[in-house]
């Protein structure tokens, strides 16, 4: 299932700090165990008070003191574990968020022009920022809430059967209902949410286009048209989002109703067990506290599933970019030719951008070192394409390009591009100082 695949990969990104992650996981186990024990201690206090008239005051205070001291120790232990989790989880989530952004940024920088040709820069920026924010939120909630919730549900919940198997069975039925209901809603809304994420990407691309070409928009009086197009995409986004929200609202109502009914049934069944002499008041109180805690954890788990579901399409885009492989791979055994003499040969080059329409067909030419050659032709003749192939913005489908007799695919990319000076048709400026822009070509 995609949900578990994406979630597992998100948690897998923490392997760089696996030691701290394991320590936080153990602290969460401690938190869940101590929280499980608190209702038990509360029930013992209730049982002590219910039998107080039958015991001497000295014995009552001694037994009560032991329970209260143990309760205080449990509370302090849980407080300490929570402090460790809250502090360290926050710091780790912030570090890994920036680490994920750096990994994404560095990976995108080395992807060839063939990749960027099919991706809008605004869309890539949106994927990086949204994806890293979602990663941060999942990591933080995982260690602050969700891990303790999973421990409580899948380890502590079976222990409730040992406390009272009849009452525990009601909780088992409730958690099965939660799981089935969540899976059902996810299956109904998964495709719809992917459509919503596509609309959000269109918004980012449209905004990036408009803001990057503001001089054209103002010069050609496109202000109203661009704003209208943005509003149209926004309306389509909301129209696609609302049906998804309706399903999750229905799930919220269903789970809350099931929780309320379960609590009532636990109280009714507990009362009947008390009248039959099969449960004490303290046991019933303990189980009610335990049930309330577990139901709260189930609500947290359901809310978590809902949040991750809405984030899955964006996270999927984030990981798809990270998984993108370069179509112009650097040869691991490539050579460094140093300073090239300058002989360039195109040997029967065939190239197409889309695999359908040819851009270059059987191009062959040889330029001796030191010669000056101009490629002249109408727009679309392939002049820019030929030079793009020379410094490996793309790779030809067939044929070979040689530098000083060496196939340029056998030369390290850095060594190849270091020997080629490029002046682009469109002037480009970084939003940095003049000095920084001048140093781009030669740091």
The tens digit of pLDDT for each residue in 380-433 reads 888 888 888 888 888 888 999 999 888 888 888 888 888 887 776 666 776 677
Give the integer Cα–Cα distance in Å for 292 and 266: 10
What dihedral angle (degrees, nearest 10) is formed by the CA atoms of 102, 428, 413, 375? 160
Q: Does domain 344-438 have CATH number 3.40.50.300?
A: yes
Beta strands 344-352; 398-403: pairing state: antiparallel
Q: If you average pLDDT over residues 215-234, what whole number do you get?
A: 84
Specify the pLDDT at position 202. 86
The mean pLDDT value for 86-92 works out to: 88
- Give me the mean pLDDT over the 34-59 stretch: 72
Average pLDDT rounded to a whole number, residues 73-98: 85
* Top-tier CATH class for 2-323: mainly alpha
Do residues 44 and 282 make contact, with C-beta atoms less than 8 angstroms apart? yes
Q: Say yes or no: do domains 2-323 and 344-438 share a fold.
A: no
Domain ranges of the chain: 2-323, 344-438
Angle at 423 between CA 377 and CA 436, to 5 degrees: 165
Who has greater pLDDT, 432 or 231? 231
Higher pLDDT, 187 or 219: 187
Question: pLDDT band for position 243 (50/70/90)?
Answer: very high
pLDDT at position 443 over 60: no
- Residues 6 or more apart whose Cβ sits within 8 Å of residue 18: none
pLDDT of 260 higher than 80: yes
DSSP 8-state code for residue 425: S
Query: What pLDDT score does 442 carry?
Result: 65
Residue 94 has what pLDDT?
92
Q: What's the confidence (pLDDT) of residue 280?
A: 75
From first CA to last CA, the distance across the chain in angstroms is 48
Averaged pLDDT, 194-201: 87
Confidence check: pLDDT of 295 > 60: yes
Query: Which residue has tokens 């300490």?
Result: 80
CB contact at 8 A, 175 and 255: no
Six-digit token pair at 257? Answer: 């109703």
């Amino acid at each position: 299932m995609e949900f578990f695949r994406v979630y597992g990969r998100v948690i897998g990104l923490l392997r760089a700090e696996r030691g701290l992650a394991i320590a936080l996981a153990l602290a969460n186990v401690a938190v869940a165990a101590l929280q499980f024990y608190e209702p038990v201690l509360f029930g013992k206090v209730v049982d002590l008070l219910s039998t107080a008239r039958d015991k001497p005051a000295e014995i009552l205070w001694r037994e009560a003191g032991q329970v209260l001291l143990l309760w205080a120790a449990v509370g302090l232990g849980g407080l300490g574990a929570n402090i460790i989790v809250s502090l360290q989880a926050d710091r780790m989530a912030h570090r890994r968020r920036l680490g994920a952004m750096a990994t994404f940024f560095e990976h995108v920088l080395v992807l060839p022009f063939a990749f960027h040709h099919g991706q809008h820069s605004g869309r890539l920026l949106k994927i990086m920022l949204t994806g890293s924010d979602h990663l941060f939120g999942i990591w933080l909630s995982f260690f602050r809430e969700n891990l303790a919730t999973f421990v409580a549900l899948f380890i502590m919940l079976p222990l409730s059967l040992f406390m009272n198997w009849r009452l525990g069975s009601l909780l088992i039925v409730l958690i099965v209902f939660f799981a089935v209901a969540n899976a059902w809603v996810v299956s109904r809304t998964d495709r719809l949410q992917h459509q919503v994420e596509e609309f959000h990407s269109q918004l980012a691309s449209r905004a990036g286009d408009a803001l990057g070409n503001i001089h054209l928009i103002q010069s050609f009086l496109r202000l109203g048209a661009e704003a209208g197009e943005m509003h149209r995409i926004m309306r389509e986004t909301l129209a696609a989002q609302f049906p998804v929200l309706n399903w999750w609202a229905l799930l919220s109502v269903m789970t809350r109703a099931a929780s309320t009914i379960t609590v009532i049934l636990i109280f009714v069944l507990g009362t009947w067990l008390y009248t039959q002499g099969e449960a004490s008041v303290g046991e019933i109180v303990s189980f009610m506290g335990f049930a309330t805690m577990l139901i709260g954890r189930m609500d947290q788990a359901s809310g978590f599933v809902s949040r991750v579901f809405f984030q899955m399409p964006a996270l999927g885009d984030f990981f798809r970019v990270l998984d993108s492989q370069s179509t112009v791979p650097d040869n691991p055994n490539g050579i460094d030719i140093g300073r090239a003499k300058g002989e360039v040969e195109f040997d029967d080059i065939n190239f197409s951008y889309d695999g359908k329409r040819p851009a270059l067909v059987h191009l062959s030419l040889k330029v001796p070192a030191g010669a000056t050659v101009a490629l002249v032709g109408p727009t679309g003749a392939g002049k820019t394409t030929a030079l793009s192939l020379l410094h490996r913005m793309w790779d030809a489908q067939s044929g070979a390009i040689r530098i000083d007799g060496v196939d340029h695919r056998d030369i390290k990319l850095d060594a190849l591009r270091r020997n080629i000076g490029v002046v682009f048709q469109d002037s480009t400026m970084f939003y940095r100082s003049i000095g920084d822009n001048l140093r781009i070509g030669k740091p």
